[in-house]
Homo-oligomer: A and B are copies of this chain.
Amino acid sequence: MTTTSSAPGKVYLFGEHAVVYGEPAVPCAIERRAHVTVSEREDSRLRVCSGDLSIDGFTVEYSGDRDAGGTPDVDVPAPIVDAAMGYVDAAVEQARAAADAPTAGFDVTIDSEIPLGAGLGSSAAVVVAGIDAATRELGVELDAREVADRAYQVEHTVQDGEASRADTFCSAMGGVVRVSGDDCTTLDAPALPFVIGYDGTSHDTGELVAGVRALREEFGFVADTVTAIGDLVRRGEAALADGDVATLGRLMDINHGLLSGLGVSGRTLDAMVWAARDGGADGAKLTGAGGGGSIVALDAGSGAETALSLTPDCEAAFRADLAREGVRVE
Protein backbone atom coordinates (compact mmCIF):
# COMPACT_ATOMS: atom_id res chain seq x y z
CA MET A 1 0.00 0.00 0.00
CA THR A 2 1.04 3.59 -0.46
CA THR A 3 -0.19 6.70 1.33
CA THR A 4 0.56 10.31 0.41
CA SER A 5 -0.19 13.21 2.73
CA SER A 6 0.60 16.85 2.21
CA ALA A 7 0.94 19.82 4.55
CA PRO A 8 1.45 23.53 3.90
CA GLY A 9 4.36 25.79 4.66
CA LYS A 10 3.83 29.08 6.47
CA VAL A 11 4.69 32.75 6.64
CA TYR A 12 4.49 35.08 9.61
CA LEU A 13 1.91 37.77 8.97
CA PHE A 14 2.99 39.39 12.25
CA GLY A 15 4.89 38.91 15.44
CA GLU A 16 8.01 36.78 14.92
CA HIS A 17 10.70 37.38 17.57
CA ALA A 18 8.27 39.23 19.86
CA VAL A 19 6.52 35.87 20.35
CA VAL A 20 9.60 34.69 22.26
CA TYR A 21 8.69 37.24 24.97
CA GLY A 22 5.06 36.23 25.39
CA GLU A 23 3.56 38.50 22.72
CA PRO A 24 1.13 36.92 20.25
CA ALA A 25 2.20 36.11 16.70
CA VAL A 26 0.21 35.25 13.59
CA PRO A 27 1.63 32.57 11.29
CA CYS A 28 -0.41 31.71 8.20
CA ALA A 29 -0.41 28.50 6.17
CA ILE A 30 0.44 29.01 2.50
CA GLU A 31 -0.40 27.14 -0.67
CA ARG A 32 3.05 25.63 -0.97
CA ARG A 33 2.99 22.11 0.32
CA ALA A 34 5.30 19.28 1.27
CA HIS A 35 4.10 15.91 -0.03
CA VAL A 36 5.26 12.82 1.78
CA THR A 37 4.55 9.38 0.30
CA VAL A 38 4.94 6.38 2.57
CA SER A 39 4.88 2.64 1.80
CA GLU A 40 5.13 0.11 4.57
CA ARG A 41 8.00 -2.32 4.01
CA GLU A 42 8.19 -6.02 4.74
CA ASP A 43 11.16 -5.39 7.00
CA SER A 44 11.80 -2.71 9.62
CA ARG A 45 14.20 -0.67 7.49
CA LEU A 46 13.70 2.98 6.59
CA ARG A 47 14.47 4.17 3.07
CA VAL A 48 14.15 7.90 2.41
CA CYS A 49 14.15 9.47 -1.03
CA SER A 50 13.83 13.16 -1.68
CA GLY A 51 13.93 15.20 -4.83
CA ASP A 52 13.60 18.53 -3.11
CA LEU A 53 14.75 18.47 0.47
CA SER A 54 17.78 20.43 -0.64
CA ILE A 55 19.14 21.83 -3.85
CA ASP A 56 20.37 18.40 -4.93
CA GLY A 57 18.23 15.35 -4.38
CA PHE A 58 19.46 12.59 -2.17
CA THR A 59 18.53 9.10 -1.17
CA VAL A 60 19.38 7.51 2.12
CA GLU A 61 18.79 3.93 3.13
CA TYR A 62 19.54 2.53 6.50
CA SER A 63 18.19 0.50 9.33
CA GLY A 64 17.95 1.54 12.92
CA ASP A 65 20.67 3.80 14.17
CA ARG A 66 22.10 5.63 11.17
CA ASP A 67 25.33 6.50 12.95
CA ALA A 68 26.12 2.78 12.93
CA GLY A 69 24.85 2.25 9.41
CA GLY A 70 27.89 3.40 7.49
CA THR A 71 28.05 6.34 5.12
CA PRO A 72 24.89 6.83 3.10
CA ASP A 73 25.33 7.23 -0.64
CA VAL A 74 24.37 10.87 -0.99
CA ASP A 75 25.50 13.85 -2.97
CA VAL A 76 24.75 16.58 -0.44
CA PRO A 77 26.79 17.70 2.57
CA ALA A 78 26.51 15.41 5.57
CA PRO A 79 25.14 18.09 7.95
CA ILE A 80 22.16 18.71 5.66
CA VAL A 81 21.49 15.00 5.42
CA ASP A 82 21.79 14.61 9.15
CA ALA A 83 19.41 17.47 9.77
CA ALA A 84 16.84 16.24 7.27
CA MET A 85 17.18 12.64 8.42
CA GLY A 86 16.73 13.70 12.01
CA TYR A 87 13.27 15.04 11.18
CA VAL A 88 12.26 12.00 9.14
CA ASP A 89 13.58 9.60 11.76
CA ALA A 90 11.71 11.28 14.56
CA ALA A 91 8.50 11.61 12.50
CA VAL A 92 8.56 7.88 11.74
CA GLU A 93 9.16 7.19 15.40
CA GLN A 94 6.05 9.23 16.30
CA ALA A 95 4.00 7.32 13.72
CA ARG A 96 5.22 3.99 15.08
CA ALA A 97 4.27 5.08 18.60
CA ALA A 98 0.85 6.38 17.52
CA ALA A 99 0.08 3.12 15.69
CA ASP A 100 1.71 0.91 18.31
CA ALA A 101 3.92 -0.60 15.61
CA PRO A 102 7.45 -0.13 16.96
CA THR A 103 9.17 -2.17 14.23
CA ALA A 104 7.33 -0.90 11.15
CA GLY A 105 9.62 -0.10 8.21
CA PHE A 106 8.91 2.39 5.41
CA ASP A 107 9.92 3.65 2.04
CA VAL A 108 9.50 7.41 2.33
CA THR A 109 9.47 9.82 -0.60
CA ILE A 110 9.52 13.54 0.07
CA ASP A 111 8.49 16.04 -2.56
CA SER A 112 8.31 19.59 -1.30
CA GLU A 113 7.28 22.82 -2.99
CA ILE A 114 8.70 24.77 -0.05
CA PRO A 115 12.30 25.98 -0.36
CA LEU A 116 14.41 24.41 2.38
CA GLY A 117 15.90 26.80 4.91
CA ALA A 118 13.94 29.76 3.56
CA GLY A 119 12.07 30.31 6.81
CA LEU A 120 8.87 29.03 5.22
CA GLY A 121 8.31 26.09 7.54
CA SER A 122 9.52 23.32 5.24
CA SER A 123 10.69 21.07 8.05
CA ALA A 124 7.42 21.39 9.95
CA ALA A 125 5.45 20.62 6.79
CA VAL A 126 7.54 17.53 6.06
CA VAL A 127 7.18 16.29 9.61
CA VAL A 128 3.42 16.95 9.71
CA ALA A 129 2.80 15.27 6.36
CA GLY A 130 5.17 12.42 7.26
CA ILE A 131 3.44 11.61 10.55
CA ASP A 132 0.04 11.78 8.87
CA ALA A 133 1.05 9.54 5.96
CA ALA A 134 2.90 6.99 8.07
CA THR A 135 0.11 6.62 10.64
CA ARG A 136 -2.49 6.27 7.89
CA GLU A 137 -0.27 3.70 6.20
CA LEU A 138 -0.40 1.79 9.49
CA GLY A 139 -4.21 2.08 9.56
CA VAL A 140 -4.47 4.83 12.13
CA GLU A 141 -6.12 8.18 11.44
CA LEU A 142 -4.99 10.93 13.76
CA ASP A 143 -6.86 14.13 14.45
CA ALA A 144 -5.01 17.14 12.96
CA ARG A 145 -4.36 18.48 16.46
CA GLU A 146 -2.68 15.24 17.44
CA VAL A 147 -0.56 15.35 14.28
CA ALA A 148 0.37 18.91 15.27
CA ASP A 149 1.29 17.85 18.77
CA ARG A 150 3.38 14.88 17.65
CA ALA A 151 5.08 17.01 15.00
CA TYR A 152 5.93 19.54 17.70
CA GLN A 153 7.52 16.76 19.75
CA VAL A 154 9.66 15.96 16.70
CA GLU A 155 10.80 19.54 16.24
CA HIS A 156 11.35 19.92 19.96
CA THR A 157 13.67 16.90 19.95
CA VAL A 158 15.52 17.63 16.72
CA GLN A 159 15.97 21.33 17.52
CA ASP A 160 17.25 20.69 21.03
CA GLY A 161 14.24 22.16 22.81
CA GLU A 162 14.22 25.38 20.76
CA ALA A 163 11.09 24.68 18.68
CA SER A 164 7.92 26.77 18.65
CA ARG A 165 4.52 25.09 18.49
CA ALA A 166 3.48 27.61 15.86
CA ASP A 167 5.03 26.06 12.75
CA THR A 168 3.69 22.56 13.26
CA PHE A 169 0.26 23.74 14.49
CA CYS A 170 -0.08 26.06 11.49
CA SER A 171 0.97 23.35 9.03
CA ALA A 172 -1.35 20.75 10.54
CA MET A 173 -4.40 23.00 10.98
CA GLY A 174 -4.00 25.38 8.03
CA GLY A 175 -5.42 28.89 7.87
CA VAL A 176 -4.44 31.82 10.05
CA VAL A 177 -3.14 30.97 13.50
CA ARG A 178 -2.71 32.99 16.65
CA VAL A 179 0.11 31.71 18.81
CA SER A 180 0.83 32.99 22.30
CA GLY A 181 3.28 30.92 24.30
CA ASP A 182 2.15 27.30 23.91
CA ASP A 183 -1.41 28.35 23.16
CA CYS A 184 -2.36 28.10 19.46
CA THR A 185 -5.77 28.90 18.00
CA THR A 186 -7.06 29.48 14.48
CA LEU A 187 -8.51 32.85 13.48
CA ASP A 188 -11.15 33.85 10.97
CA ALA A 189 -9.54 35.69 8.10
CA PRO A 190 -10.19 37.05 4.63
CA ALA A 191 -8.43 35.67 1.55
CA LEU A 192 -4.78 36.69 1.83
CA PRO A 193 -2.97 37.01 -1.51
CA PHE A 194 0.56 36.38 -0.32
CA VAL A 195 3.57 36.90 -2.55
CA ILE A 196 6.91 35.59 -1.35
CA GLY A 197 10.44 36.61 -2.21
CA TYR A 198 13.36 34.42 -1.24
CA ASP A 199 17.00 35.51 -1.42
CA GLY A 200 18.42 31.98 -1.57
CA THR A 201 20.15 32.16 1.81
CA SER A 202 19.37 30.73 5.20
CA HIS A 203 20.40 32.07 8.57
CA ASP A 204 20.82 30.67 12.03
CA THR A 205 17.55 31.22 13.87
CA GLY A 206 19.17 30.58 17.24
CA GLU A 207 21.79 33.25 16.65
CA LEU A 208 19.19 35.81 15.57
CA VAL A 209 16.98 35.06 18.57
CA ALA A 210 20.01 35.34 20.85
CA GLY A 211 20.94 38.67 19.24
CA VAL A 212 17.51 40.12 20.00
CA ARG A 213 17.71 38.77 23.55
CA ALA A 214 21.07 40.47 24.13
CA LEU A 215 19.84 43.74 22.62
CA ARG A 216 16.66 43.60 24.70
CA GLU A 217 18.62 43.03 27.88
CA GLU A 218 20.97 45.91 27.09
CA PHE A 219 18.42 48.50 25.99
CA GLY A 220 15.06 49.18 27.59
CA PHE A 221 13.72 50.77 24.42
CA VAL A 222 14.31 47.48 22.58
CA ALA A 223 12.11 45.75 25.15
CA ASP A 224 9.52 48.47 24.46
CA THR A 225 9.82 47.75 20.74
CA VAL A 226 9.04 44.10 21.41
CA THR A 227 5.93 45.25 23.30
CA ALA A 228 5.03 47.58 20.42
CA ILE A 229 5.12 44.59 18.07
CA GLY A 230 2.73 42.79 20.42
CA ASP A 231 0.35 45.76 20.30
CA LEU A 232 0.65 45.79 16.52
CA VAL A 233 -0.30 42.11 16.40
CA ARG A 234 -3.38 42.78 18.54
CA ARG A 235 -4.39 45.56 16.14
CA GLY A 236 -3.74 43.13 13.29
CA GLU A 237 -6.13 40.60 14.80
CA ALA A 238 -8.87 43.23 14.62
CA ALA A 239 -8.00 43.95 10.98
CA LEU A 240 -8.19 40.22 10.22
CA ALA A 241 -11.61 40.01 11.84
CA ASP A 242 -12.72 43.01 9.77
CA GLY A 243 -11.27 41.53 6.56
CA ASP A 244 -9.32 44.79 6.18
CA VAL A 245 -6.46 43.77 3.90
CA ALA A 246 -5.26 47.36 3.34
CA THR A 247 -4.70 47.84 7.08
CA LEU A 248 -3.02 44.43 7.33
CA GLY A 249 -0.57 45.62 4.67
CA ARG A 250 0.19 48.87 6.49
CA LEU A 251 0.76 46.94 9.71
CA MET A 252 3.13 44.59 7.88
CA ASP A 253 5.18 47.60 6.77
CA ILE A 254 5.40 48.88 10.34
CA ASN A 255 6.17 45.41 11.68
CA HIS A 256 9.08 45.18 9.24
CA GLY A 257 10.46 48.50 10.48
CA LEU A 258 10.19 47.42 14.11
CA LEU A 259 11.96 44.14 13.25
CA SER A 260 14.70 46.26 11.65
CA GLY A 261 14.91 48.06 14.99
CA LEU A 262 15.52 44.67 16.61
CA GLY A 263 18.45 44.17 14.24
CA VAL A 264 17.04 41.20 12.32
CA SER A 265 16.51 42.63 8.85
CA GLY A 266 19.20 42.52 6.20
CA ARG A 267 20.27 44.11 2.95
CA THR A 268 18.54 41.59 0.69
CA LEU A 269 15.40 41.52 2.82
CA ASP A 270 15.07 45.31 2.71
CA ALA A 271 15.67 45.29 -1.05
CA MET A 272 12.94 42.70 -1.57
CA VAL A 273 10.53 44.47 0.75
CA TRP A 274 10.93 47.70 -1.23
CA ALA A 275 10.60 45.89 -4.57
CA ALA A 276 7.29 44.40 -3.43
CA ARG A 277 6.02 47.77 -2.16
CA ASP A 278 7.12 49.58 -5.30
CA GLY A 279 5.39 46.83 -7.28
CA GLY A 280 2.10 47.74 -5.67
CA ALA A 281 1.87 45.47 -2.63
CA ASP A 282 -0.42 46.54 0.22
CA GLY A 283 2.52 45.88 2.52
CA ALA A 284 5.62 43.74 2.91
CA LYS A 285 7.84 42.43 5.66
CA LEU A 286 10.49 39.86 6.36
CA THR A 287 9.07 36.56 7.57
CA GLY A 288 10.69 34.31 10.13
CA ALA A 289 13.96 34.80 11.91
CA GLY A 290 15.41 37.28 9.42
CA GLY A 291 19.00 38.10 8.62
CA GLY A 292 18.30 36.72 5.16
CA GLY A 293 15.74 34.34 3.77
CA SER A 294 12.25 35.36 2.79
CA ILE A 295 9.89 38.28 2.71
CA VAL A 296 6.13 38.16 2.42
CA ALA A 297 3.96 40.74 0.72
CA LEU A 298 0.22 41.14 0.24
CA ASP A 299 -0.73 41.78 -3.37
CA ALA A 300 -3.85 40.69 -5.19
CA GLY A 301 -2.33 41.90 -8.47
CA SER A 302 0.80 40.76 -10.25
CA GLY A 303 2.97 43.81 -9.58
CA ALA A 304 4.81 42.68 -6.47
CA GLU A 305 5.69 39.27 -7.94
CA THR A 306 6.95 40.90 -11.14
CA ALA A 307 8.98 43.48 -9.23
CA LEU A 308 10.50 40.77 -7.04
CA SER A 309 11.36 38.61 -10.04
CA LEU A 310 13.29 41.59 -11.45
CA THR A 311 15.18 42.19 -8.18
CA PRO A 312 18.76 40.87 -8.33
CA ASP A 313 18.73 39.93 -4.64
CA CYS A 314 15.60 37.82 -5.08
CA GLU A 315 16.36 34.25 -6.12
CA ALA A 316 12.75 33.10 -6.22
CA ALA A 317 9.48 35.05 -6.31
CA PHE A 318 6.16 33.28 -6.19
CA ARG A 319 2.55 33.63 -5.21
CA ALA A 320 1.37 31.50 -2.28
CA ASP A 321 -2.16 32.32 -1.18
CA LEU A 322 -3.39 31.60 2.31
CA ALA A 323 -3.96 27.82 2.60
CA ARG A 324 -7.29 27.18 4.33
CA GLU A 325 -6.54 23.48 4.58
CA GLY A 326 -3.77 22.04 6.74
CA VAL A 327 -2.55 18.46 6.56
CA ARG A 328 -4.54 16.22 4.23
CA VAL A 329 -4.32 12.85 2.61
CA GLU A 330 -3.87 13.09 -1.13
- Interface-located stretch among A65-73, A87-95, A262-270: A262-270
Closest 5 CB pairs of A and B: A257-B261, A257-B260, A267-B274, A221-B231, A221-B228
Minimum Cβ distance to chain B for residue A261 (Å)? 3
Contact of A263 among B225, B254, B267, B270 (CB under 8 A): B254
Q: In the complex, which residues of chain B have a beta carbon less than 8 angstroms from the beta carbon of A227?
A: 221, 224
Asked if A79 lies at the interface with its beta carbon under 8 angstroms from chain B, I say no
CA gap between A278 and B266 in the complex, in Å: 10
Contact across chains for B271 and A262 when beta carbons are under 8 A apart: no
Encode A225-245 as 1/0 by CB contact (under 8 A) with B.
101110110010000000000
Q: In the complex, which residues of chain B have a beta carbon less than 8 angstroms from the beta carbon of A231?
A: 219-221, 224
Q: In the complex, which residues of chain B have a beta carbon less than 8 angstroms from the beta carbon of A261?
A: 225, 228, 254, 257-258, 260-261
CA gap between A90 and B150 in the complex, in Å: 75
Asked if A222 lies at the interface with its beta carbon under 8 angstroms from chain B, I say yes
Minimum Cβ distance to chain B for residue A154 (Å)? 34
Contact across chains for B253 and A257 when beta carbons are under 8 A apart: no
- Count chain B CB atoms within 10 A of each CB in A225, A235, A262, A274 and give the residue with the most: A225
Q: In the complex, which residues of chain B have a beta carbon less than 8 angstroms from the beta carbon of A278?
A: 267
Contact across chains for B262 and A270 when beta carbons are under 8 A apart: no
CA gap between A271 and B268 in the complex, in Å: 9
Minimum Cβ distance to chain B for residue A69 (Å)? 44
Given contacts A222-B254, A228-B261, A257-B260, 8 further A-B contacts (CB under 8 A): A219-B235, A221-B228, A224-B227, A228-B228, A254-B263, A257-B262, A260-B260, A267-B278
In the complex, the chain B residue whose C-beta lies closest to that of A273 is: B270
Q: In the complex, which residues of chain B have a beta carbon less than 8 angstroms from the beta carbon of A220?
A: 231
Contact across chains for B224 and A228 when beta carbons are under 8 A apart: yes
Q: In the complex, which residues of chain B have a beta carbon less than 8 angstroms from the beta carbon of A232?
A: 219, 221
> Which A residues contact B (CB, under 8 angstroms)?
215, 219-222, 224-225, 227-229, 231-232, 235, 253-254, 256-263, 265-267, 270-271, 274, 277-278
- Listed A/B pairs (21) with beta-carbon separation below 8 Å: A219-B231, A221-B227, A221-B254, A225-B225, A225-B228, A225-B261, A228-B228, A228-B261, A253-B263, A256-B260, A257-B258, A257-B259, A257-B265, A258-B258, A258-B261, A260-B260, A266-B274, A267-B277, A270-B271, A270-B274, A271-B271
CA gap between A235 and B277 in the complex, in Å: 33
Contact across chains for A254 and B224 when beta carbons are under 8 A apart: no
Contact across chains for B254 and A257 when beta carbons are under 8 A apart: no
In the complex, the chain B residue whose C-beta lies closest to that of A260 is: B257
Q: In the complex, which residues of chain B have a beta carbon less than 8 angstroms from the beta carbon of A274?
A: 266-267, 270
CA gap between A26 and B277 in the complex, in Å: 31
Minimum Cβ distance to chain B for residue A320 (Å)? 24
CA gap between A297 and B222 in the complex, in Å: 21
Minimum Cβ distance to chain B for residue A26 (Å)? 15
